[in-house]
Amino acid sequence: MTAPTTTAPDRKQPAGDAPGTGDPFDRDILPTPPGATLALLRSLLAPMKARVAVTTLLLLLQQAAVQAGPLLVAYAIDSAVPAFRRADHGPLIAVGAGYLLCALASGGLQYAFILASARVNQDVLLDLRGRIFRHAQALSIDFHERYTSGRLISRSTTDVESLRELLDEGLQELVTVVLSFVYISALLLWLDLGLGAVAVASFVPLYLLVRLYQRRAVEVYRKRSTAIAAVIVKFVETMNGIRPVRAFRREAVNDADFGALNARHERTNGDALLEMARYVVGSRLVANTAVALIVLWGAHRVADGSLELGVLAAAVLYLRRLYDPIDRLGMFLNSYQSAAASLEKIAGLLAQKPTVPEPATPRPLPPLASEHPGREVVFDGVRFAYRTGGEVLPRFDLTLPAGQTVAVVGSTGAGKSTLAKLLARFYDPSEGRVLLDGVDLRDLDVPELRRGVVMVTQEAFLFSGTIAENIAIGRPDASREDVERAAKAIGAHEFISGLPDGYDTDVRKRGGRISAGQRQLVAFARALLADPAVLILDEATSSLDIPGERAVQRAMATVLNGRTAVVIAHRLSTVEIADRVLVMEHGRIVEDGTPAELVAGTGRFADLHRAWRDSLA
Amino acid sequence: MATTPVQTKDRSAVRTLLRLWPYVRPVRARLFGAAFVAVLASCVGLVIPLVLKWVVDGPVAHRDPAGVWLGALYLLLLGLGEALLFGLRRWLVARPLAGVEAAMRGALYRRLQRLPVSFHDRWASGQLLSRGTTDLMLLRMFLAFPLTFLLVNSVTIVVGVIIMLAQDWTLGLVILGPAVPVMVTCVVFEKRYAAVARRAQDQVGDLTTLVEESVLGVRIIKGFGRHRSQARAFRELARTLRGTELRKASLLSTIWGVIVTLPEIAIGAALVLGTVQVADGELSAGTLVAFLSTALALRWPVESIGFLLAMSQEAATATERYFEVMDEEVEDPGVSGGRPSTDQRGIRFDAVSFRYPDAPAGSSPVLDRIDLHIRPGESMALVGATGSGKTTLTALVPRLHELTSGRITLDGQDISAMSRDRLRSLVAVAFEEPTLFSASVGENVLMGAPDTAGGPELERALAVAQADFAYALPQGTDTQVGEQGLSLSGGQRQRLALARAVVGRPRFLVLDDPLSALDVHTEAAVEAALRDVLAETTALIVAHRPSTVLLADRVALLSGGRITAVGTHHELLRTNAEYAHLMAGTEITEAGEDIEEADAR
């Protein structure tokens, strides 16, 4: 939030009050194509047109029933009273029956309306939640690397929530307000053209007031939402980093920082509440003045006989109702304001195109050539650069024969991980093709691709659920025996058996503390179970101790024997089992050969190997 | 993110809400004032129909133009008064209630920062966040709206009923008829609604958990092509939530149906009865108009009771959730000014045992009677198999966890006899998971130093950690990092975390596998620079690799919760089979196991 401003090259971006770099990712303002927000709303509502219509009809009828009351009062005073005096009980019975009917209808219709609208709302939300979720999952890894997890989470939680509020309360409010305005104005005009006209004329100042409020509220609400976002970021950061916070005694400094952010939110929050107060005073003033004027004029006309007393009574009853919902209009504007902002952010997210799309007409992998499960990998004229520029891998060709274990070494930033991500199709090459047994990875559908290539990364994330479930992510239809066999092969069985509930231990519950090294073992077991033709290990042993690493290597030599494997590691111990070593530097493969050849040579690998040997001595 | 267990114990919403009093107390005058103003405004609203009656029955009936003017003037003044009172109420509470919300949030944050680390192990940050945001907003809304209006509407209803009874008691009684059934429905509804609402809140939590994990674990989901099954799981949860929300809606629609229908029927009955009375000449037309407009004015207060109660119910749940955290015991600041209890210098573990407070009863402790002495100026490497408790042991030194038994002394002073603040100023830590905060690189590093530290210290620390890349960042060491800034690679973050640990030249240094993400060259360079730092400090270093172990003067082997051997790297390689297995990967032979259990001291 206090990021120093740098030159933002793209001046078209709306000026946010959070200064930052020009990158829309950094500033959490993905470009939303014009009209995308409305298009999103339309596409959400389109499939339930019929039900929206029914719901609206229910509300129309309900309002009709509710608004019939004063009409019956007028009829009772002007017609039923004289009729009753003539001993004609018909009109009075009609009034009673009519009122009873209206009461039952307004209650029953209200019941039906709430149910029907809840169904529509919940289906819209279900649809939207699903869309965000599926879209976020479909977006490529490079998107996830730039869009922080916190933002993605808030898109699918708080932003959906604000739409929910609008749908749940806001829209019904708005429809009720508009409907009762229309109904009551029509009734008033029908009762008496003059009185009705005055009432309708009072809408002009009310409209101006609403516009004024809306303009000011946008500003205030935007500031408030920025302020609360800052509070949330600070809060989450502190809680997620509680260990360093404690160890470095940041509590007092944090209290002060958080206090300042909290106070800013308090101030803008107060501003927003005061803005609402001003609106309420203004709208009430207009409404009450209009009532006084109409009564004044109506009373004069009753006095000179040009208006029936009953009509004036009904008009006055309606007038009170006419202005009742103005406060609620203000509240609707609030929820509309925040929902619109949220929808815009969601639309911006949904407008992002996956850079690694699934093929329209997938091709299958050819049958395996031999009894070995490995497949041949070919990088054919591949070049990779970020879309923002910056070449990571200059054009290169590389063939990894089926069944070969290839180690890739090199310093940080040499392009090892990019190579692995291209092979796992987390990225697509900017130029050229990556072929698996002659088939372009872009032509494989997801299940086929993952039977072909699986990658184990350094960050071994565990999902909520049991250890067994976490391993079974590799192959959901695996039996318990399969899971245990995979765990045993990788040397994870021992620690898992020692957990309170063994394989059924919930990783997030009591007693389920699992160290970084143990998490990596679980990740391996997962990959082993997936049984892919090509296995990529990207720094996958960094937290393992040497015996753990040995167990993994043994497993690779036995269980994974015959598979094609690409191993990226800082540790040279992993390299010993490789058939071939690639040394990378600045995106290029500078050395390529068997470990023995390279060690015997005079290149970078020989240096590295010597340094590593020394460290073991 | 674990869903926090819900105790569906019988609790009274009122008693729960009363716990808010300490926070409300400072603004009580304004809040009560606002409630009073609201009652006044609402009474003014009730008087307006009476003025209407007076106008219709008096000046209009008697064709008295002056009276009509006067009546309209009264109406205008009352309307003016009502509008201003409405505004006054909101103005009175706007800033104070924003203040209450902020104060509660600040208190929550302060408390959370001081709760034991084991509390944070149990609670997902998302659950804490929802308490600090949505729940507190709910509470502010409760104070601003339902709390006031439950009072105001009750008063309005009572006053309105009195006015109606005064005008015509038979009609008044007819209007009162549905009161009892409506109240019964409200009470029944309130109970059921509360249960369903809490269920919905928890299901939202589960859904959030799934979203959070799918985002954090996206590489695994993609890597195994599991995004379809993940989407199915999501769809299932979302559908369950939809079912609960619809259940909520059906409860709500029932209450609304009742609350709309019954009073309306009563008004209809009053209309029929009133018309008969007007026809019989027992009642003036003006009285009937006034009576009915009063009855209609009461419609909103009556109808609103249902959702006001629902909102109060939700506020009670929010209060409960808030105090679930606030009731947790904070870490005590520790006794200050304890005297050295022994003259032993360095770091000393004395029969230290530890088990996690939430571990199942009867399970064996993670650390069992650990005895270890790190001499002043000495560096001790801590080696042990994966999951042997090395990280747990290091967390005990800065008292991130409390010992179950035994004691740790720093230069002879028991750490439990020291204030935590002082203890943590003596001990610097680099964690296995390097966390950077949303601040500049420089600020992140200098967190480990006294406030007086500046450029020279930063330069030295960055040099030790081989973090020269910091100068090449877009704004050098002023570049923002963390969630709000530039994302750095694991190796870069690890080097900055290391720089943070050494920048303050701490007396005691604890490093948890500090070089795991570095490539061989960088690691060698960091090791060379670290040697100088380690020469002047007493350090405990968790190590997986021989290269890291070689930084230390001696090594301790942690196995089965105990320190089973202490010695130099080469000694242990020769004499301890388990150590040789861990460090060189040699197989443990039957005979070689557990030979030479060295004296831990």
User: The tokens of B342 are what?
Assistant: 């022994």
Q: How far A81 CA lies from chain B's nearest CA (Å)?
A: 5
Q: Residue B556: pLDDT band by 50, 70, 90 thresholds? A: very high
Angle ∠(A586,A591,A592) on CA atoms, nearest 5: 130
Q: How far B12 CA lies from chain A's nearest CA (Å)?
A: 27
Neighbours of A112 (CB within 10 A): 18
Contact between B97 and A276 (Cβ < 8 Å): no
> Closest to A616 (Cβ–Cβ): which among B68, B289, B584?
B584
The number of residues making up chain B comes to: 601
Report DSSP state, residue A466: B
Residues of B with Cβ-Cβ distance to A526 under 8 angstroms: 220, 224
Q: What percent of chain B has pLDDT over 90?
A: 10
Predicted confidence at residue B106, as pLDDT, reads 93
Predicted confidence at residue A617, as pLDDT, reads 55
SS3 at position B221: helix
- Strand-pairing partners, residue A585, are A588
Q: Tell me what the mean pLDDT of segment A311-328 comes to.
A: 75
Residue A307 predicted with pLDDT over 50: yes
Residues of B with Cβ-Cβ distance to A245 under 8 angstroms: 113
Contact between B512 and B540 (Cβ < 8 Å): no
**Do B86 and A284 count as a contact with CB atoms less than 8 A apart?**
yes
User: The tokens of B488 are what?
Assistant: 């750095």
**Do B133 and A228 count as a contact with CB atoms less than 8 A apart?**
yes
Contact between A568 and A597 (Cβ < 8 Å): no
Residues of B with Cβ-Cβ distance to A330 under 8 angstroms: none
Strand pairing report for A453-456 and A405-409: unpaired
Predicted confidence at residue A381, as pLDDT, reads 92
> Closest to B80 (Cβ–Cβ): which among A234, A288, A513?
A288
CA distances from residue A265 to A220, A231, A277, A357, A452 in whole angstroms, order as listed: 11, 8, 18, 41, 52
Q: Residue B587: pLDDT band by 50, 70, 90 thresholds? A: low
- Asked if the C-beta of B282 comes within 8 angstroms of chain A's C-beta atoms, the answer is no
> Closest to A542 (Cβ–Cβ): which among B2, B274, B517?
B517
**Do A288 and B76 count as a contact with CB atoms less than 8 A apart?**
yes
Sign of the Cα torsion B266, B268, B269, B271 reads positive
- Asked if the C-beta of B98 comes within 8 angstroms of chain A's C-beta atoms, the answer is yes
**What CA–CA distance (Å, rounded) separates B201 from A262?**
25
**Do A277 and B87 count as a contact with CB atoms less than 8 A apart?**
yes
Q: What percent of chain B has pLDDT over 70?
A: 92
Whole-model pTM: value is 0.78
SS3 at position A292: helix
pLDDT in tens, A520-564: 888 888 888 888 889 898 877 777 777 777 787 777 777 777 889
Q: Tell me what the mean pLDDT of segment A116-138 comes to.
A: 90
> Closest to A616 (Cβ–Cβ): which among B391, B431, B546?
B546
Question: Which residues touch A436 (CB under 8 Å, ≥6 apart)?
Answer: A365, A375, A376, A377, A444, A452, A453, A533, A534
Predicted confidence at residue B9, as pLDDT, reads 43
**Helical packing angle, B136-144 and B299-326, nearest 10°:** 140
Phi and psi at residue B490, in whole multiples of 5°? -55, -40
DSSP string, B429-442: EE-SS----SEEHH
Question: Nearest to residue A160, comparing CAs of A191, A189, A121?
Answer: A121
> Closest to B257 (Cβ–Cβ): which among A69, A111, A247?
A111
Residue B597 predicted with pLDDT over 50: no
ipTM comes to 0.81
Q: How far A582 CA lies from chain B's nearest CA (Å)?
A: 16
Residue B154 predicted with pLDDT over 60: yes
**Do B112 and A424 count as a contact with CB atoms less than 8 A apart?**
no
Residues of A with Cβ-Cβ distance to B421 under 8 angstroms: 249
SS3 at position B398: coil
Percent of chain A as helix, strand, coil, to the nearest 5: 65, 10, 25
**Do A145 and B487 count as a contact with CB atoms less than 8 A apart?**
yes
**Do A299 and B68 count as a contact with CB atoms less than 8 A apart?**
yes
User: Considering only alpha carbons, which residue of chain A is nearest residue B289?
Assistant: A313
Question: Nearest to residue B139, comparing CAs of B113, B189, B112, B105?
Answer: B105
CA dihedral angle for residue B41, residue B42, residue B48, residue B53, rounded to 10 degrees = -150
Residue A13 predicted with pLDDT over 50: no
Which run of H or E residues covers position A582?
strand A580-585
User: The tokens of A266 are what?
Assistant: 């308090």
Residue B113 predicted with pLDDT over 50: yes
Please give the residue that has the higher pLDDT: either A424 or B123: A424
Residues of B with Cβ-Cβ distance to A7 under 8 angstroms: none
Worst-scoring range by mean pLDDT, A51-55, A251-255, A322-326?
A322-326
Q: Which amino acid is at B117?
A: V
**What CA–CA distance (Å, rounded) separates B338 from B111?**
26
Q: Residue A440: pLDDT band by 50, 70, 90 thresholds? A: very high
Residue A616 predicted with pLDDT over 70: no
> Closest to B520 (Cβ–Cβ): which among A246, A263, A611?
A611
Worst-scoring range by mean pLDDT, A306-320, B22-36, B455-469?
A306-320
Q: Which amino acid is at A502?
A: G
Residue A29 predicted with pLDDT over 70: no
Question: Which residues touch A192 (CB under 8 Å, ≥6 apart)?
Answer: A298, A307, A311, A315
Residues of B with Cβ-Cβ distance to A102 under 8 angstroms: 264, 268
**Residue to substitute from B62, B88, B185, B289, interface A, most A β-carbons within 10 A:** B289
Where helices occur in A389-515 by DSSP H, the ranges are 416-423, 446-452, 467-472, 480-490, 493-497
Question: Which residues touch B72 (CB under 8 Å, ≥6 apart)?
Answer: A292, A293, A295, A296, A299, B55
**Do B84 and A281 count as a contact with CB atoms less than 8 A apart?**
yes
Predicted confidence at residue A111, as pLDDT, reads 92
Angle ∠(A97,A103,A104) on CA atoms, nearest 5: 90
Mean of per-residue pLDDT scores for chain B: 82
User: The tokens of A189 are what?
Assistant: 């005009």
Q: How far A171 CA lies from chain B's nearest CA (Å)?
A: 15
Strand pairing report for A453-456 and B508-512: unpaired
Q: How far A53 CA lies from chain B's nearest CA (Å)?
A: 19
Residue with tokens 């609790």: B11
Where helices occur in A168-241 by DSSP H, the ranges are 171-191, 193-201, 203-240
Question: Which residues touch B205 (CB under 8 Å, ≥6 apart)?
Answer: B1, B3, B4, B126, B127, B130
Residue B127 predicted with pLDDT over 50: yes
pLDDT in tens, B19-42: 999 999 999 999 899 989 988 888
**What CA–CA distance (Å, rounded) separates B360 from A500?**
8
**What CA–CA distance (Å, rounded) separates A341 from A120?**
22
Question: Nearest to residue A187, comparing CAs of A18, A46, A322, A11?
Answer: A322
**What CA–CA distance (Å, rounded) separates A282 from A299?**
26
Contact between B434 and B493 (Cβ < 8 Å): yes
Neighbours of B455 (CB within 10 A): 10
Question: Which residues touch A280 (CB under 8 Å, ≥6 apart)?
Answer: A327, A330, B83, B86, B87, B90
Residue A386 predicted with pLDDT over 80: no
**What CA–CA distance (Å, rounded) separates B431 from B514?**
7
Contact between B460 and B501 (Cβ < 8 Å): no
Which run of H or E residues covers position B555?
strand B554-559
**Do A270 and B293 count as a contact with CB atoms less than 8 A apart?**
no
pLDDT in tens, A145-183: 777 666 787 788 778 888 888 887 776 777 778 877 888
Residues of A with Cβ-Cβ distance to B117 under 8 angstroms: 242-243, 246
> Where does residue B162 fall: left (phi above 0), alpha (psi -120 to 50 degrees), or beta otherwise?
alpha
Q: Residue B169: pLDDT band by 50, 70, 90 thresholds? A: confident
